[in-house]
């Protein structure tokens, strides 16, 4: 099957065809690994999770989800990137809870998702801040997710969301400034 059939497969997935998802994932696998690699690039050098394991976990979640409403390839990759963020954030939260003696049960990718304590705290703080931003301004939060979790350019985000490239860049800058202030604890200059 050639990659030109990706739009057709996405349409079939949207219609509920489970086999279409099974055919789609191998066609976009290289892009999924690229996104996973970007997530894992900033991890400590000795952690053992490979991009392949993260992609596999995302596939399991995609396959288990009941409703798929992907608009196109970019939207599908954005959803996959969001799921990668969820996997990594959940692990970071469990790791922090375990350090406090909460007795959390082992996570399926426990050995591979071995964050340093500092990294786990940053992942959790960033996820909390991004969740708060989404409550205040869903569009800005979406732009951050698309840029940093999906690796989209401003042009791609503009096409996907129906906004101008200028608006995307402007709103993304505002979101990043807000997130920096939230995560770092710095107060805004007035």
Domain boundaries, the chain: 3-184
**169: nearest Cα among 149, 153, 145:** 153
The predicted pLDDT at position 169 comes to 94
The predicted pLDDT at position 8 comes to 92
Span between the terminal Cα atoms of the chain, in Å: 58
Max alpha carbon distance in the chain (Å)? Answer: 58
**Inter-residue contact 165 to 146 (CB < 8 Å):** no
User: Would you tell me how many other CB atoms lie within 10 Å of the CB of residue 150?
Assistant: 24
**Inter-residue contact 49 to 115 (CB < 8 Å):** no
The residue count for the chain:
190
Model pTM score: 0.57
The predicted pLDDT at position 174 comes to 92
The predicted pLDDT at position 105 comes to 40
Q: How far is the C-alpha of 176 from the C-alpha of 24, rounded, in Å? A: 33
Kindly give the confidence (pLDDT) of every residue in the chain, 190 residues in length, as a single tens digit, with 9 standing for 90 and above. Answer: 446 788 999 999 888 888 898 899 999 998 899 888 887 776 555 555 678 888 888 888 888 876 678 888 888 888 888 888 888 877 777 766 656 544 434 333 333 344 455 566 777 778 888 889 989 999 999 898 888 777 788 998 888 888 999 999 999 999 988 888 888 776 554 4
CB-side neighbour CA atoms (13 Å) of 170:
5
**Inter-residue contact 145 to 130 (CB < 8 Å):** yes
The predicted pLDDT at position 120 comes to 65
């Amino acid at each position: 099957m050639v990659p030109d059939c990706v739009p057709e497969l996405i349409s079939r997935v949207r219609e509920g065809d489970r086999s279409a998802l099974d055919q789609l994932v191998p066609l976009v696998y290289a892009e999924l690994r690229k996104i996973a690699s970007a997530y894992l690039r900033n991890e400590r050098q000795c952690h053992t999770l490979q991009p392949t394991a993260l992609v596999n976990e995302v596939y399991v979640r995609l396959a288990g989800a009941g409703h798929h409403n992907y608009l196109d390839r970019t939207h599908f990759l954005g959803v996959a990137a969001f799921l990668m963020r969820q996997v990594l954030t959940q692990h970071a939260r469990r790791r922090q809870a375990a350090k406090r003696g909460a007795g959390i049960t082992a996570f399926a990718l426990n050995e591979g998702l071995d964050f340093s304590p500092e990294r786990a705290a940053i992942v959790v703080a960033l996820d909390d801040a991004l969740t708060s931003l989404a409550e205040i301004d869903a569009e800005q939060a979406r732009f951050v997710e698309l840029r940093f979790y999906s690796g989209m350019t401003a042009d791609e985000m503009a096409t996907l969301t129906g906004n101008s490239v200028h608006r995307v860049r402007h709103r993304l800058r505002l979101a990043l400034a807000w997130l920096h202030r939230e995560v770092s604890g710095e107060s805004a200059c007035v």
